[in-house]
């Protein structure tokens, strides 16, 4: 898989403490994720976890997203497998309901250096198919994002915009696409990949597709224009219906593989569309306030970690 979408993103990467890898050195963005998340830090105790999560909500408020406890649908973490008190947290996320339908996802990437914060924000339909994807970067002394990027997927077109630090907003020319895809930013390896690939799988299910393309765009440093590129498609294969676990609770899931040969990504997806397990990452500390996964009980909002 390859994907390139940058529009002032070089600055987004620099501000967020990410390194940018030359396109010639990129082979598959999936692999570097495990490297990027090895630096994730496990909170020392439950109170620290609350502090991190409350900060995530404050960030959302600062960017103009109205948040109410009653809008919260579910929350959880993706951790390195196996799940244990020592397992490193890769991402911590909250899922909200939208009016009139669908969901709004806010996922905070864990383990960022020097107090930096990085959010992955998505709008999803009722089947967890993405309608938009965005990223926001924060420094330790800013409650508002110092850089951001957003792409919307509407009527077969991808429209992206970005706001680099100390510059005005920029908007890319729409890119026409067909079929199922997932979107990645060139050189950006610190991602919530379970949500990205899970969304692509759900898009494939909704369209009856059996393959997924990676769409990439990069910004030319000289003219600032956005350039999109569609990589070769990879096969999505159904393996079996099975059972797996979330925090020790057995739940039904479908097992899929994405890719070919030695470059396979395994996904276990709940019937609702949420990824329960993806390669070395597993869903943990999952709480739902409305029924999404039938085997998991519905909790009161007061029990929220966040």
Q: Which of helix, strand or coil describes residue 305?
A: coil
Does residue 278 sit within a domain?
A: no
Does residue 250 sit within a domain?
A: no
Does residue 242 sit within a domain?
A: no
Contact in structure between 258 and 201 (CB atoms under 8 Å): yes
Domain carrying residue 114 = 9-233
* Average pLDDT per 10 consecutive residues for the chain, totaling 306 residues: 34 37 31 29 39 44 48 94 71 95 95 88 96 92 86 92 69 88 79 95 95 82 70 93 96 96 91 96 95 95 73
Does residue 170 sit within a domain?
A: yes
193 C-beta neighbours (distance < 10 Å), count: 27
pLDDT at 65: 46
Residues 6+ apart with CB under 8 A from 199: 122, 124, 128, 129, 130, 182
Does residue 273 sit within a domain?
A: no
Does residue 256 sit within a domain?
A: no
pLDDT at 48: 45
Token pair of 157 as six digits? 């077109």
The structural domain count of the chain equals 1
pLDDT at 220: 57
pLDDT at 123: 97
What is the C-alpha separation between 189 and 206, in angstroms, rounded?
Answer: 27
> If we measure between CA atoms, which residue out of 264, 197, 215, 188 comes closest to residue 36?
188
Does residue 86 sit within a domain?
A: yes
User: Model-level pTM?
Assistant: 0.77
pLDDT at 261: 78
Does residue 160 sit within a domain?
A: yes
């Amino acid at each position: 898989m390859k994907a390139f979408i940058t529009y002032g993103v070089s600055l987004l990467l620099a501000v967020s403490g990410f390194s940018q890898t030359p396109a010639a050195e990129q082979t598959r963005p999936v692999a570097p994720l495990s490297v990027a998340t090895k630096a994730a830090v496990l909170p020392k105790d439950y109170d620290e976890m609350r502090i991190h999560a409350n900060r995530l909500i404050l960030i959302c408020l600062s960017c103009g997203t109205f948040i109410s406890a009653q809008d919260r649908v579910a929350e959880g973490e993706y951790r390195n497998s196996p799940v244990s008190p020592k397992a490193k947290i890769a991402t911590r996320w909250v899922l909200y309901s939208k009016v009139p339908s669908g969901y709004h996802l806010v996922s905070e990437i864990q383990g960022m250096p020097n107090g930096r914060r990085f959010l992955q924000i998505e709008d999803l339909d009722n089947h967890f198919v993405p309608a938009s994807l965005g990223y926001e970067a924060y420094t330790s002394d800013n409650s508002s994002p110092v850089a951001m990027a957003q792409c919307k997927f509407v009527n077969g077109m991808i429209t992206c915009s970005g706001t680099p630090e100390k510059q005005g907003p920029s908007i890319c020319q729409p890119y026409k696409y067909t079929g199922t895809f997932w979107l990645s930013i060139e050189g950006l390896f610190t991602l919530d990949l379970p949500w990205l690939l899970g969304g692509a799988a759900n898009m494939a299910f909704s369209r009856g597709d059996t393959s997924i393309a990676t769409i990439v765009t990069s910004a030319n440093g000289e003219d600032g224009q956005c350039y999109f590129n569609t990589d070769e498609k990879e096969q999505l294969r159904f393996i079996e219906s099975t059972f797996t676990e979330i925090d020790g609770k057995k739940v039904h899931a479908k097992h899929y593989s994405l890719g070919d040969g030695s470059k396979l990504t395994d996904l276990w997806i709940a019937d609702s569309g949420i990824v329960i397990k993806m390669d070395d990452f597993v869903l943990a500390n999952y709480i739902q306030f409305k029924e999404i996964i039938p085997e998991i009980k519905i909790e009161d909002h007061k029990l929220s970690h966040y």
